[in-house]
Amino acid sequence: MTVLPRRGRAAGEAGRLAALLLSPTFVVLGLVVGYPLVAALRESLYQTGQTVDAEGFVVQGERFVGLDNYAAMFSGPAAARFWNAFGNTTFFTVVTVAAEVVIGVAMALVMHQALRWRGIVRAGILVPWAIPTAVSAILWQWIFQADGVANAIIGSQVLWTTEGWQAKAAVMIADIWKTAPFIGLLVLAGLQIIPRDVYEAARVDGAGPVRQFFSITLPLVRPVLVVAVLFRVLDTLRMFDLPFVLIGNRKESVETLTMLAWDEASNLRFGPAAAYATVLFGYVAVVALVFVKLLGADVIGEARERIRKDRARKEEPLVRPGVVHA
């Protein structure tokens, strides 16, 4: 009984120590993330620049405009540009992430089978990840030149980096190339923790490779895959460097929300820029929430660890997650 208060005090001490140790991180994050978020929200309600006041004088400076910057996105001259950027952002995200998942999972399956060459392949697969996006954009611009190697290989004369579907395709190909291996790596790590005997049991029960993939592999790597897809989706939603360098600024067919906001900000139209940025932030937040709530993306890894510890404590023989008994 006397243990209880002591444990309570210890918890309080731990709490204070935790607060102390966490404070530097939170101060920095508050400064570089928290403050800008609030400032952007405020800024999005203002407009800067010259206006004419009631007496006909030119006024320079900030002016409170309420929700005008947001209203302008949905109707008015800027609406078309906003919806185009919104559409591009969504389209890029859906297509590239879908392709990356298929390619990434295929890569992981191949690498999982490999007995030799593992080191080389592992190093090779990190190369696209390590290349700066801006450099890879230049590299693909070179590959996609009118008389470049891409056209030579497919024997055509596509002007890849000019406005149109081909520009979208160029951006998506370059993005898929760079990030599919990353998904492959994460999925491979997920594959490696699946115990071999699950597959043996499946084989004994007469499940073929396809059945094994859909009944064992996919369900068991699902937690890893959902987290990987979440990261990729959030990353693609804020895409900037690649279309900006590969195709260019103010190009309708590849302009993303981030590019739109950046362009407005670089023209010192901070109000609309902040409004676009805030809308993108909301979009990203909703998507993240959907992933965490509906698909159960376990980003922290805490829940899984807790479950594993509980199991270990009970010292039961690990019951393999329900497989192939059907």
Partner 1 sequence: MNTRAVLRYAGLAAILMYCLSPFYWMLVSAFRRPSDQFSLSPIPDPISVTNFTAVFGVDVGFGRALVNSVVVAGIATVLTLLIGLSAAYTLARLRFRFKNAVAALIIATSMFPGISLVVPLLKLVTDIDWINTYQAMIVPSMSFALPLAVWNLTAFFRQMPGELEEAAMIDGCTRLQAFRRIILPLAAPGVFTTAIITFITAWNEFIIALSMVNDKSMQTATVAISRFTGAYGFDQPFGTQMAAGVVVTVPLVVLVLVFQRRIIAGLTAGGVK
Residue bearing tokens 């890894």: 301
Coil, helix or strand for 252?
Answer: helix
CA-based torsion, 291, 293, 299, 303: positive or negative? negative
Would you count residue 286 as binding partner 1 (CB under 8 A)?
no
Closest contact distance (angstroms) between CB of 192 and partner 1 is 8
Closest contact distance (angstroms) between CB of 200 and partner 1 is 17
Closest contact distance (angstroms) between CB of 83 and partner 1 is 18
Find the binding residues for partner 1 in span 9-48 (CB under 8 A): 11, 14-15, 17-19, 21-22, 24-25, 28-29, 31-33, 35-37, 39-40, 43
Give the residue with the Cβ less far from partner 1, 12 or 52.
12
What is d(CA 163, CA 196) in angstroms, rounded to the nearest whole number?
Answer: 50
Q: Convert residues 246-285 into a mask of x (bound to partner 1 by CB under 8 A) and - (unbound).
A: -----------xx--xx--xx---x--xx-xxx-xx--x-
Stretch near partner 1 under the rule CB under 8 A, chosen from 51-59, 65-73, 223-231, 309-317:
223-231
Check if the beta carbon of residue 170 is closer than 8 Å to that of residue 140.
Answer: yes
Amino acid symbol at 8: G
Give the residue with the Cβ less far from partner 1, 55 or 114.
114
Closest contact distance (angstroms) between CB of 313 and partner 1 is 14
Give the residue with the Cβ less far from partner 1, 52 or 301.
301
Question: What are residue 300's phi and psi, to 5 degrees?
Answer: -80, -25
Find the binding residues for partner 1 in span 60-99 (CB under 8 A): none
By CB under 8 A, the count of residues binding partner 1 is 100
What is d(CA 248, CA 162) in angstroms, rounded to the nearest whole number?
Answer: 9
Check if the beta carbon of residue 184 is closer than 8 Å to that of residue 171.
Answer: no
Closest contact distance (angstroms) between CB of 113 and partner 1 is 5
Amino acid symbol at 66: G
Closest contact distance (angstroms) between CB of 229 and partner 1 is 11
Query: Which residues are CB-contacts of 226 (< 8 A; sequence separation ≥ 6)?
Result: 291, 295, 296, 297, 298
Q: Judging by DSSP bridges, how do beta strands 63-64 and 46-47 pair with one another?
A: antiparallel
Give the residue with the Cβ less far from partner 1, 98 or 152.
152
Residue bearing tokens 């080191």: 119
Stretch near partner 1 under the rule CB under 8 A, chosen from 68-76, 180-188, 200-208, 313-321:
180-188
Check if the beta carbon of residue 175 is closer than 8 Å to that of residue 96.
Answer: yes
CA-based torsion, 232, 233, 235, 240: positive or negative? positive
Find the binding residues for partner 1 in span 103-132 (CB under 8 A): 107, 110-111, 113-115, 117, 119-132
Among 250, 304, 309, 311, the residue binding partner 1 under the rule CB under 8 A is 304
What is d(CA 135, CA 241) in angstroms, rounded to the nearest whole number?
Answer: 9
Give the residue with the Cβ less far from partner 1, 132 or 195.
132
Give the residue with the Cβ less far from partner 1, 190 or 254.
190
C-alpha pair distances (Å), 53 with each of 57, 68, 292: 6, 17, 49
C-alpha pair distances (Å), 74 with each of 49, 70, 209, 287: 22, 7, 50, 21
Give the residue with the Cβ less far from partner 1, 11 or 52.
11
Give the residue with the Cβ less far from partner 1, 140 or 160.
140
Q: Convert residues 183-222 into a mask of x (bound to partner 1 by CB under 8 A) and - (unbound).
A: -xxx--xx--x-----------------------------
Question: What are residue 97's phi and psi, to 5 degrees?
Answer: -65, -40
